[in-house]
Chains A and B, each alone.
Chain A
């Protein structure tokens, strides 16, 4: 009885807390008040409500790292719940749409190995070109993360099988085109794009990509030869990023990064901060040749870290820290971006959290 009363009392206080938090947001729609309101919904186990609050808050406070982090966690919770439902439904009555959705969820969560295993199970239980193509796509994601030639070759072989099985399957040709572009197999890229245009006619973007591929002459004759040519020390160094990654880079603006770099340096131990995406670097706290040199140093350090982490079996690199007489250089890195800060004194948790927020992989947003 006492436990029951406790629960009722707890639920009542939680409702009162949520009402209080909502009232505070109405009075002052600050990011902190929104966070408190979202936190109330987290305690009540309502991820959908957390997402709604975060979306509302981000419309007013775009790029707020804590709000974005909370939104990502809530979305992940919701999708994980959906994945559990799908697993249960698949056990009862498997059908392609359920498999597809489950594989997409795992890919979106960055669990590429799991996505590939699921696609393989799909292929085993109901063999189809669609299942094979999803398996190839999962293998492509694995390769992007691991940069291992074996993963690239596996993705290529799976995509080839799927394309053979169904010439109209756009996903398989897309995987082939991306892989070929990444390793510089221009002839294979042109062939894959031609089949993709055949399967999905009337898309100006695909035609532009084909024209671009036509301009690339020479190069290794086969995919395997091209893969071997770009493999150094057991790790593939892609010649270019994939189309989808480039599109994401183009879509995302760097304009919002500079104020955050300034904010990072304001009242902090850090004297220099930079943000890197592809060949672009934004630097705050240094100018002219010093900025160029430091940005190049950070980029080379990240590249060395990526190779080193893979060789040592640490997986994709997430952070690098170099301490010495020069001070403290901290780098946070994702597969596409990196952010660095340097200070004469050791950097604190505030700077590290800011760096983490800058490179946060927005796979869920």
Chain B
């Protein structure tokens, strides 16, 4: 699961990256988290917002969203749907959101391949040399 988040957390402007189950349970998180909003609570809040947003557009008979962006004055959260889960990144203010679309899509694709067993979890990334995990990687039970 770390192979999904490592390329994301290495990007400029990315504060934290998470893989969250569709039910709001945190699967894995990387980056720095405020003690007042630890990874578990953060993941639940993110999915809570996704549910509220989906509920808001439900009367329009639209399908479940594939990608969501919530931009605030102090930063933004980008989410990409994966199989039964969400890949999320929080970026600091001023980060180009357009430049994160492809890495996020790639991360969701990597997650999907990983879950289907097409990729070994510890395989090195093709574009980068393997590197140790960030000190603040929070690991949860794998799915």
Which residues on A are within 8 Å of B, measured CB to CB?
Answer: 293-294, 296-297, 300-301, 303-305, 307-309, 311-326, 329
Contact = CB atoms under 8 A, between A and B. Distances in A.
28 contacts: A293-B60, A297-B56, A297-B57, A297-B59, A304-B52, A305-B49, A305-B53, A308-B45, A308-B52, A308-B70, A309-B72, A312-B42, A312-B46, A313-B37, A313-B75, A314-B70, A314-B71, A314-B75, A315-B72, A317-B72, A319-B71, A319-B76, A320-B71, A321-B68, A322-B53, A322-B67, A323-B66, A323-B68
Interface string B47-64: 011001101110110111
Contacts of B71: 314, 317-321
A322 B75 contact: no
B75 A308 contact: no
Nearest to B64: A324
Interface residues of B, number: 31
Contacts of B77: 312, 314
Nearest to A332: B71
6 A-B pairs closest in CB distance: A314-B72, A308-B49, A300-B56, A304-B52, A315-B73, A326-B62
B74 A329 contact: no
A300 B55 contact: yes
A321 B52 CA distance: 14
Contacts of B48: 308, 311
Contact of B53 (A296, A301, A312, A316): A301
A304 to B, nearest CB: 4
Interface of B: 34, 37, 42, 45-46, 48-49, 52-53, 55-57, 59-60, 62-77, 90
Contact of A325 (B46, B52, B66, B73): B66
Nearest to A330: B69
Contacts of B69: 319-321
B73 A322 contact: no
Nearest to A309: B72
A290 to B, nearest CB: 9
A316 B73 contact: yes
Contacts of A303: 56
A326 B67 CA distance: 11
A313 B67 CA distance: 20
B91 to A, nearest CB: 10
A326 B59 contact: no
Nearest to B57: A297
Contacts of A311: 45, 48-49
B70 A305 contact: yes
